[in-house]
Chains A and B, each alone.
Chain A
């Protein structure tokens, strides 16, 4: 499991994100049709995502919805894991 010790801007692949941690999308490698669709569904730069269930396919939480996603697609997305002091998942900060 990742701990709070890492630097804030360390990027990891979305399919390697540990479950139940929230993260922010920072980089998307390709821009093909599938990726366009993924962005439409909310996995785009600056969005918060949370891995609900690891594996292939994995389950991702974006906004209020859950997304079943093949790990191959998720591997094109790089995310920054939120730190406890600046994690801003909507459910936690109460808007």
Chain B
């Protein structure tokens, strides 16, 4: 203990907790006060986020903690409960030194409810009366001096979005921090808790009295636009149509607009990889750096454009107030499957990539609902499955684009149906309760803040790169090692070809020599993969996958695609000796079609192909997704459960498909 614990000169930083109702503009004010220096982290042991930033006042630095929005201190919802606990010092760290309460000036009466509770705590309080610009526009006049007198604490009118009043707020905060603001502690005690009867009623009577005394709302013109827009956006038919339109636009953005930067990133890493391979001598180190590290980092960063676009769009939609309407209008449909209305957002985004989709499940407040949504999201057909679908459809219907397109569509439908069925199954088994009855605030429509959206996007991107990225990198290094070790000697045929090529070079037949060298490299790659750990694993799992119609070579492909599904195409190309860099897939498809089992029968029959397709629709072959699920659920239990249930589902479905088609003679 310090000798003078109350001394303002103590070394520990002053902590200021930012509290307020949801939609009161807390995050905007936080961003305005702290800027880019903020860090996002979960409350220890939970998946509830808090943001911590630093605010520089004259000669002091203040730690600002942005707590989740809350309506009341005794709320039961996990986010609100944590915020209330943090404020009262019930969590492992001490209570904040002061609370900066953010109030929505356009909704004084409701916001005063929380203020009345906060005034009863011992914590020093200062109030930021936010959204003054909106209040002015709506014709609400608030007598701030009177409100200060009523609450007995400092009230600063601000408009966080355009920076109005921030200087005054900082000035007052400085007074508070330096201990020059006695009214922060010595405020009015509303004494509502002691009243008999309904405590809510007593509190609301208090807020009503105060707001009547300080507010002049004679000329309220609010919500004309909100009324008109809500007529459309909450309409049972037009609302759904509008929602589908908005979501499709977001989807198109993720899918198409991200394509250019993704190709660029891909290209960049390929170029860097090529450059490094020329600089380093051939061997393990070169392979580790090029195929392990560079390919691994590239594999992480390639997701960034999609993640950024999705979170930017979602932040804008949330800020406008539209996302609450989407939840409102979709609630009834999704409820049947035990999902909330907002589950539609991750489910649609997952058609591009499950990783940003799972991260976006945070728009769902209820933890049970969020968990179910996270569990089923990877069943949607993501873009990584498309190369596999393309390969399989080309093998089954090489000459019929129409039939191939039908199979493609069916594959997408199977993913969606499987996801909804699983949600229903979880509702009746491990995650009962279904979706809670809808109760959601529909905030007034607002022009979204670009700064908030950009900061949010930046924040999500950093979380992805730091937390998911490192896991993904480790996984790709492990996969690299498994497919490169143990090292095997080049096969005799390849050695013979190399020496023959050397002879040809001497006689000046360069093209022939090059062809031979390529062929030799191809053989060596095939041989070393077949004899690596991955190859051995292929043999080990063959008895298990044989009932699905797969041989050990497909087994290598399935195993290698646990890091990322699309890898199976390039792995099969190596295993079946087509060559890694073959840009033209037709030669791969031809080779696969000619591939024979040991008994001479073809490997890729219709039954095997369909079984493989179903397996790839349903299986959890993306450890990057599981890394993100671990972060979002804060436990290994759920990602492991997800792998387990999806694998069982995929295995059983593929088994049924293969055996059925074989029975009817398609094998």
Q: DSSP majority for the A interface?
A: mixed
A34, A36, A59, A90: the one within 8 Å of B437 (CB): A34
The answer to whether B110 and A42 touch across the interface, beta carbons within 8 angstroms, is: yes
A73 to chain B, nearest CB (A): 5
B236 interface residue per 8 A CB criterion? yes
Given contacts A44-B198, A91-B217, contact A66 B332 (CB under 8 A): no
- CB interface residues, B 89-145, toward A, < 8 Å: 106-110, 113
Closest to B197 in A: A45
How many residues from A make CB contacts under 8 Å with B?
A: 34
A3 interface residue per 8 A CB criterion? no
A59, A62, A91: the one within 8 Å of B220 (CB): A91
B205, B332, B443: the one within 8 Å of A46 (CB): B205
Interface 1/0s, chain B 236-274, versus A by CB < 8 A? Answer: 100000000000000000000000000000000000000
The answer to whether B441 and A66 touch across the interface, beta carbons within 8 angstroms, is: yes
Chain A residues near B227 (CB, 8 Å)?
A: 52
Chain A residues near B108 (CB, 8 Å)?
A: 64
Interface 1/0s, chain A 14-53, versus B by CB < 8 A? Answer: 0000000000000000000110111111101111000011
Q: DSSP majority for the B interface?
A: mixed
- CB interface residues, A 47-95, toward B, < 8 Å: 47, 52-53, 55-57, 59, 62-70, 72-73, 90-91, 94-95
CA–CA, A40 and B72, complex, Å: 6
The answer to whether B212 and A68 touch across the interface, beta carbons within 8 angstroms, is: no
B75, B201, B222: the one within 8 Å of A40 (CB): B75
Given contacts A39-B200, A53-B234, contact A72 B442 (CB under 8 A): no
A89 to chain B, nearest CB (A): 10
Chain A residues near B438 (CB, 8 Å)?
A: 57, 68-70, 73
Chain B residues near A63 (CB, 8 Å)?
A: 107, 109-110
B68 to chain A, nearest CB (A): 15
Chain B residues near A95 (CB, 8 Å)?
A: 212, 215-218
A36, A41, A45, A68: the one within 8 Å of B201 (CB): A45
CA–CA, A66 and B218, complex, Å: 20
The 3 lowest CB-CB distance pairs between A and B, nearest first, are A44-B200, A64-B107, A66-B442
Query: 16 A-B pairs, CB-CB below 8 angstroms?
Result: A38-B439, A39-B198, A44-B200, A52-B227, A56-B332, A59-B328, A63-B109, A66-B230, A67-B440, A68-B441, A69-B438, A70-B439, A94-B217, A95-B212, A95-B217, A95-B218
